[in-house]
Amino acid sequence: MVGLAIGAYQVTLGRRAATLAALIPLYRDYQSPALQVTRDRVYQNHFDLNNLSADEDQQIRDLLNALEFLGALVTNHIVSFTVVKSLFHNSPLPVWNALEPFVRRQRAGDPGANQRSVPGYAKNYETLVGRY
């Protein structure tokens, strides 16, 4: 019986370690100066989403990619939403509210600009935001 309890405890510890291993690099990246500046600009509506420079487009994509990865961790039950909310607070929500038009355009594509549609773009992130 003791062996079973120890085994269950080891499984629990293993899951927690895997959660931390997945979250720590993402959290560091999300808190990096570059993404902090991008988030601040998003919060303050400093991006003209209809007329982005190549650098601005990449900054937004980097931020969305980090949040998509976070959403994938929650969607696939690798990390609980409770853990995400305790670390990232409500940060993903205002970013989504500001960048949803950009995401919708990526999903729809723009044949005039030779941009193909990406129907699943940021779907995990959208699912994450739906949990708030």
Q: Tell me the residue type at 56.
A: E
Residue 9 has pLDDT above 80, yes or no: no
pLDDT tens digits along 92-124: 999 999 999 999 999 998 766 667 889 999 999
pTM of the predicted model as reported, rounded to 2 decimal places = 0.83
**Rounded CA separation 118/130 (Å):** 20
In terms of phi and psi (left: phi > 0; alpha: psi -120 to 50; beta: otherwise), the region of 45 is: left
What average pLDDT is seen over the chain? 87
